[in-house]
A and B are shown apart, each in its own frame.
Chain A
């Protein structure tokens, strides 16, 4: 993985001291609230319902065991012993004090980490595929480009006060595990007819109040032009994005207002100025690639007793089938660490669990860990022969629930319990769903399905792109839940359609039960829930939920 140069280290060290002084000036009354707010947000610090919340960047979701141990140390020392992984592969601490944040940032800098631009109206952490570098369908590993974008976007002097936040996701091949089509910019590594590798560039995707799938602004961008093209998009947005209404300030609104063709024209005009100046030399791309060299795979890893173990231990087999993914190298496997245990908040992890995962990464997966868009962790390079021992160790830490990609592998925002924006609670509904479906006999029959839940219209739980989406709404002081069906954040991205009127808080799991029973009834062959909804439309499901009982 990427290792800081002296220059990179100096930047984060100086940034810590800069923020320390900003905090000091704020506490001394020298810095107005509004100005400090912008500065603290660009260092990851929100003021939330219960306490400040600090969001730490995990660039493109990749961390070393040493870094994860430091995150555990921070959870233990400055928080209440846990952290929360987010859909943009960062980690949040919910209980630090404002005064301690400069010290936390200094602890992060010691292990080449930071919280720079994890919030605020600036370019946020670039995200990517958690299976980057290890999946067979990849055209090229996207992470070197993510690192190049990270450096370009870090403390960019021109783009720190954009109309609104700005998120970029990169995928390395035809599969999309980064929800790239609902990002401000989605970059897809593609191969053109001449066999050259470059980027398809999407712009103007997003969720929130106005969910939109991104539009292709450039079907093939040469690698060397990556930064000049991003720079041109950002400048067009900075100058033309709306600043009069924060709900209409994202780039998706600008792209929709201009039309993508007009937007492309503006970008191309701007691009002509900086194309030479920002051209990426081949040597710089190679330098970045040099940090992401393949793991030292062993040919004899194919000789293992995995099949014996699968044949003799049914629980292990269940975990293996749900929580591991094929690796491009024979004899290896990608193991997903489920952060969706029974009746625990999605994405939460304790300091002890973090230390344990770090230890397992050292023991079994080259000392590296990835965080995913679905709020899980990944050990990407595990020998098949080590999976059984890994599973046992994860199970001992309550990290081996065999539910990856299943109904209970929900994406859930923290909701009203923690977040000052939320309208409704989410954690209690997630518990209700867990309780309802933990024992139902048809659960294994449902197969792969995504259930995403947000506690308000800002859609941090990505409900629009869940196969089933749940949106918490406030009606006269009561929590109600609106359901959408048919969303997807994958390569076939789509926005879910509203099922009908919202259901009461205590009726959410029952409603899901009706939906899933209907699915099993009407599906054809091996059809997934999403495929069925796309074929039948919403009518059978509306009837199942809203028709009066006979």
Chain B
């Protein structure tokens, strides 16, 4: 006789969508043929931490707690419940879509390398781990080198994974049987956060999920001007002016102080014809000149159209007006 807690759940609630969900997500066949049931809703409803997580994310009271519990069950965990693989994949796609859409529409001239590092700053492993910590997700205590599986209600609201690290205490070296199966805390936590986004996408639809990504991920501060460095800024600025048909850049000394002292300072402006396109300071004229070129280049690359239109606005029933598409990076 299977204990009721391990039995696959067939239907929860009364709505037709829920019944459909329990068929598609409720049970999953893995390669070995054994079934991994989802946590029954009536069992998950008894867990206080899942309720708290739902409230902290401002999800509706009808949001299934069993789905949240599944999102926290990472593939390396040793219990027999359904893992978060599918939800994680959906959430990852949603994050990638929304983050790349946000960056490329907001800063259309941003170079490809800078777009990549900005995407990592918003949706990388470190950031998602931090978001999970803010949400209040904690790892279960039994996550450790010694297999200790608890089917109680109390662990359903915790992050469940097996750490990859081999723990070396004073004299005892605890070696895990199969190290390839473990995951790091950051991997587990970021997959759980991705899976929560995936679960919201599946349950509440794209509008709600995109709002959640905006609120928790894109609301974070990323300094876009610190995303790139130039090795030859004056040459690149010159090429840019030639390509765009501007007057070739000139550098003029605007102010200086203490030229013959130990602490000289110069202020140089980069001009294209009568227009000042950048300004820089430095302890030498050369340094001030390259800072002026960097300033002008960053002003070009960090152009942002106002208002910003996003393709996903189409989900909200708003008219999609198209976005600004740039000619691309300057080739030096």
* A-B complex is real: no
Chain B residues engaging chain A, CB cutoff 8 angstroms: none
